[in-house]
Structure 1
Amino acid sequence: MILNERETQEGLLVAVCDEDVLGETFEEGDLSLTVTEEFYGGDEADERAIVESLTQAAVANIVGTRAVELAIEEGFVDEANVLEVGPTLHAQLLRMQ
């Protein structure tokens, strides 16, 4: 998986995606999702690093079946709130403080 972290005024912004979705565009009805290098590009990371990053995140955007399933398994995302966009999954996390 690919992990990108940015510090913002609101806290840590985390973008995670499966390697095979980077650079792809997915569509489902009127919904279109482009997984850009600019936003999602970063470093390869293992599951442990992803979980550590999501633990610290104020906001997270997660794309790809593997990445979203990890976020669900670790309790960051409720499966009922996951979007299916074509053949991939997308979830967002917003931690209110």
Structure 2
Amino acid sequence: MPHLTIKKKRGETIVAICDEELFGKKFQENNLKLEVDRSFYEGEKTSVEECLNALEEATIANLVGSIVEHAIDAGYINPENVLRIEDIPHAQMVRP
């Protein structure tokens, strides 16, 4: 089940979504590194649908894990912009 964090700061709505089992893990492949910091990603356990609703309002989003595929399917993320580090999908979204 994904964790969802929403922060509002300086006119931005920042959304972080991550699979719980990835908290605290570090992934590295070639020169790419991904550290899944619990303090950034841990939020409310919620449904994929609620996560996608949060992305609708997000101006900045940071996604790690299974939510990336759902965000692609919903049209929030272009699959060409997804990084896979040790086969863990990671994507960021910025909206003006």
TM-score (structure 2 length as normaliser): 0.94
1:14-44 superposed Cα distances (whole Å, 9 cap, x missing partner): 0001121111111111111111111101110
Letter in 2 for 1:95: R
Q: Which residue of 2 aligns with 1:69?
A: 69
- Check whether the contact 1:26–1:87 (CA below 8 A) recurs between aligned residues: no
CA distance in 1, matches of 2:15, 2:39: 13
How many residue pairs match? The answer is 95
1:56-77 superposed Cα distances (whole Å, 9 cap, x missing partner): 000000001x110011011000
Q: Which runs of 5+ in 1 are unaligned?
A: none
Q: Which residue of 2 aligns with 1:8?
A: 9
- Check whether the contact 2:20–2:42 (CA below 8 A) recurs between aligned residues: no
Letter in 1 for 2:31: D
TM-score (structure 1 length as normaliser): 0.94
Which 4+ runs in 1 deviate beyond 6 A? none
CA distance in 1, matches of 2:70, 2:11: 24
Q: Which residue of 2 aligns with 1:82?
A: 82
Per the TM alignment, residue 11 of structure 1 is displaced from its structure 2 partner at its CA by 1.2
What pairs with 1:1-97 in structure 2 (closer than 5 Å)? 1-64=2-65, 66-96=66-96
Letter in 2 for 1:50: C
Identity among equivalent positions (%) equals: 35
1:68-93 superposed Cα distances (whole Å, 9 cap, x missing partner): 00110110000011001112010000
Letter in 2 for 1:56: E
Q: Secondary structure of the residue that 1:77 maps to in structure 2?
A: coil
